[in-house]
């Protein structure tokens, strides 16, 4: 038996605190790649800046392996997040973790950001980098069997399905990666997707090489069934119109994400998908309010793109402050 240790020295090192009796140049809501890089750029431009987030890393923490980030051939999502955080701590960027923002409003020229505990922070510009959250299948049984078979974090929960049968719903990179991760523990993994695979070919090839992964395409999940725990899913083969049951002890739902827009949905223009619409400098329809990363309409949700988007937004916020204050 061997154990590795993912020691994270950042856990013990403290970040600079946020203070609420000052007016920040830029406050960033969200601690994923977009928000972190925006804070870095803002700080280096000389802006007073702070990050308010539930957790540093955002979706990076759910990514087992990042393989296409230029200059870093292979790194775990968490390691990359650690590198980001160390970099920010070196620059003394203020960070408030485990904080939930409940209200964002613009009063005259300033933004008020209110936390769940009532604390209010003020800033000249505000960046929304809240990312996105897993999309639900929205079929009967999904809520009922949530955490009794239905799971959303493959790297966290895969070991719990040792010697069991597991279904993966989805056909993108995250679904194929989940299938590969879970196949290390499970007896049998069945990937079910309603259309064709759209994951990177290199991942698909890797998946197809695993003897305990079976793939059903053009197959729609109709219902998650079970008693105390889930026991399987009812599926519809869209080509033959036949329904059948696939027995399984668990299902990982990896069918993409929905933008986390709740803070601004009545404040700015959204597109039909609910994504925050920004201009080429990442400003939303409300001046001084910026958005970056997966919460925006930016196509191709990638870490490297979110990072770049954050940089762009910070530089634009700097420009805005120079012109307006």
Partner 1 sequence: MQKMLNEEIQNQLRQVFAEMKEDVTMVLFTQEGECYSCEETMGLLEEVEQLSDKIHLKKFDLNKDVEEAKKYNIEMVPSFVLLNSQGEYQGVKFNGIPAGHEINSFIPALLEMSGVKQDVPADFAQRIAKIDKPVNIKVFVTLSCPHCPGAVQKAHVLAMLNKNIEGEMIEAQTFTDLSNKFNVSGVPKIVINDKYEMVGNQPIEEFLAQIEAM
Footprint on this chain of partner 1 (rule: CB under 8 A): 1-9, 11-12, 55, 57, 61-62, 78, 98, 100, 116-117, 146-153, 155-162, 228-229, 250
* Angle CA 145–116–104, to nearest 5: 105
> How many angstroms separate the CA atoms of 303 and 226, rounded?
37
Q: Which of 60/88 has CB closer to partner 1?
A: 60
Kindly state the smallest distance separating residue 169's Cβ from partner 1, in Å: 15
Strand partners, 216: 192
Kindly state the smallest distance separating residue 11's Cβ from partner 1, in Å: 5
> How many angstroms separate the CA atoms of 238 and 195, rounded?
9
Q: Which of 79/200 has CB closer to partner 1?
A: 79
SS3 278: coil
> How many angstroms separate the CA atoms of 179 and 175, rounded?
6
The dihedral over CA atoms of 74, 79, 85, 87, expressed in degrees to the nearest 10, equals -50
Kindly state the smallest distance separating residue 307's Cβ from partner 1, in Å: 19
* Structure tokens that stand for 96 in this block: 């408030």
Q: 289-291 and 120-128: which strand pairing?
A: parallel
Please give the order of strands across the beta sheet that includes 250-253.
150-151, 250-253, 165-169, 188-192, 213-216
Q: Which of 1/272 has CB closer to partner 1?
A: 1
Q: Which of 228/239 has CB closer to partner 1?
A: 228
* Burial per residue of 79-95, b for 16 or more beta-carbon CB atoms within 10 angstroms, e otherwise: bbbbebbeebeeeebbb
Q: Which of 98/266 has CB closer to partner 1?
A: 98
Kindly state the smallest distance separating residue 186's Cβ from partner 1, in Å: 12
Which helix (H) or strand (E) segment holds residue 175: the answer is helix 173-183
Q: Which of 181/275 has CB closer to partner 1?
A: 181
Kindly state the smallest distance separating residue 173's Cβ from partner 1, in Å: 19
Kindly state the smallest distance separating residue 220's Cβ from partner 1, in Å: 23
* Structure tokens that stand for 36 in this block: 């972190």
Kindly state the smallest distance separating residue 8's Cβ from partner 1, in Å: 5
Q: Which of 166/314 has CB closer to partner 1?
A: 166
Length of the chain: 325
């Amino acid at each position: 038996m061997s154990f590795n240790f993912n020691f994270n020295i950042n856990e013990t090192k403290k970040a600079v605190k946020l203070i609420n009796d000052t007016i920040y140049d830029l406050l960033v809501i969200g601690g994923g790649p977009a928000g972190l890089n925006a804070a870095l750029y803002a700080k280096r431009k000389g802006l007073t800046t702070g990050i308010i987030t539930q957790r540093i890393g955002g979706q990076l923490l759910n990514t087992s392996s990042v393989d296409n980030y230029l200059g870093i051939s292979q790194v775990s999502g968490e390691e990359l997040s650690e590198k980001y955080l160390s970099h920010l701590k070196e620059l003394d960027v203020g960070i408030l973790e485990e904080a939930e923002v409940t209200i964002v409003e613009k009063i005259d020229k300033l933004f008020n950001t209110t936390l769940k505990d009532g604390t209010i922070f003020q800033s000249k510009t505000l960046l929304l980098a809240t990312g996105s959250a897993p999309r639900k299948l929205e079929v009967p049984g999904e809520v009922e069997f949530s955490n009794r078979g239905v799971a959303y974090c493959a790297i966290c929960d895969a070991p719990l399905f040792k010697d069991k049968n597991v279904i993966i719903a989805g056909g993108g990179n995250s679904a194929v990666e989940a299938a590969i991760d879970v196949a290390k523990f499970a007896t049998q993994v069945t990937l079910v997707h309603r259309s064709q695979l759209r994951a990177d070919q290199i991942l698909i090839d890797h998946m197809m090489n695993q003897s305990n992964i079976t793939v059903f395409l053009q197959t729609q999940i109709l219902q998650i069934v079970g008693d105390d725990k889930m026991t399987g899913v009812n599926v519809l083969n869209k080509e033959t119109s036949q329904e059948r049951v696939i027995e399984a002890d668990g299902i990982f739902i990896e069918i993409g994400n929905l933008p986390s827009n709740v803070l601004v949905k009545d404040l700015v223009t959204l597109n039909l998908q609910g994504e925050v619409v920004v201009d080429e400098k990442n400003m939303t329809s409300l001046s001084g309010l910026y958005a970056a990363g997966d919460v925006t309409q930016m196509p191709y949700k990638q870490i490297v793109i979110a990072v770049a988007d954050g940089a762009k937004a910070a530089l634009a916020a700097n420009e805005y402050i120079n012109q307006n204050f």
